[in-house]
Amino acid sequence: MVYELYGALGSPYSMKLRALLRYRRLPHIWRDGAATREALAQVRAPVIPVLRYPDGHYDNDSTPVIYDLEARHAERRVVPDDPAQAFIAHLLEDFADEWLTKAMFGYRWLEEVDQIQMSRWLAFDNMKGGGLERSQAFAAQFRDRQVSRMALVGCTRENFPLIEASTFAVLDALEQHVVNRHCLFGTRPSMAEFGIFGQLSQLGTDPTPQAMMRARYPYAYRWLAHIDDMSGVDGEWEAGFAPVVAELVRIAGEVYAPFLLANAQALEDGAETFAMEAMGLPYRQGTFKYQAKCLRELRHRYRALEPAARADADAVLTPAWLALLQAS
């Protein structure tokens, strides 16, 4: 019973799922490069990673895949047993997937040094041969396409001060935490660690953010190598919330909660763009239906909590989060 994961080293969501499969000790084959093209034809949205299940079906939305694997395999689950912790782990994973990814995209495609190296590396990864001239020609085309998408995903120079400030805040929190322990909810990793790792794994590779991490956050940088393969880790969930969890929830409440609210309101109003301010910095981008879906899912999971579990979650949720989650 073997899974096949079709992805790429330069894809944060591919690295997220590969690390999760490794930790869960689920037998799998990693396939990248040209092999991914056939798998992309098997899914509705042609984006990696794509997971081929042992029964032959395919899926490629990383968060639902995590929950599906939880239902299929009892051992080494990554959703905490405690319902309040499970909700907060989901919230932090969602924050990583939908907000921290902007740091990955911005660092990779805003500055020429990163554009050149990473477009060439990504072409090299995809083509695996064929000569340097052909590879670099493809890299130039790919670079132009990605740079043209910057405004669409909100990674403009005008927005990047907020994106970078929130990323520094996350890295500050991790740097202080990981010198004491690697995990957030005990001595075993949750879905939150894998979501955060996926995005930061790219910052640890690209020239500009890698230099920044090595200089300012050396232990958070090294932590990435450990999360990449935790197959040898055996641990337990621990009661309560570590200070780092409360701090990450606070940071997410400062930037991601108003982002979700502004996007949802713009969609309701029929607007094509929205603007907000967070951490004293401006932000503007086009509306996205997928982020509205994320908000609905967060509200659904919050409202499904039993009163005692909801009270436990409320203890770490900031007023911004409570207002967002409790709204009708």
Q: Residues 182, 192: contact at Cβ < 8 Å?
A: no
- Compute the distance between CA of residue 244 and CA of residue 250 in angstroms, rounded to an integer: 10
**274 pLDDT higher than 90:** yes
- Compute the distance between CA of residue 240 and CA of residue 312 in angstroms, rounded to an integer: 8
Residue bearing the bigger pLDDT, 37 or 184: 184
Residue type, 296: R
Residue bearing the bigger pLDDT, 299 or 328: 299
Model pLDDT for residues 85-103, shown as the tens digit of each residue: 999 999 999 999 999 999 9
- Compute the distance between CA of residue 64 and CA of residue 143 in angstroms, rounded to an integer: 30
Backbone φ and ψ of 278, nearest 5°: -145, 145
Residue type, 117: Q
Predicted TM-score (pTM) of the model is 0.97
CA distances from 213 to 35, 129, 197 (A): 32, 31, 13
Model pLDDT for residues 141-160, shown as the tens digit of each residue: 999 999 999 988 899 999 99
Model pLDDT for residues 46-85, shown as the tens digit of each residue: 999 999 999 999 999 999 999 999 999 999 999 999 999 9
Q: Residues 256, 186: contact at Cβ < 8 Å?
A: no
Backbone φ and ψ of 274, nearest 5°: -145, 160
- Compute the distance between CA of residue 247 and CA of residue 251 in angstroms, rounded to an integer: 6
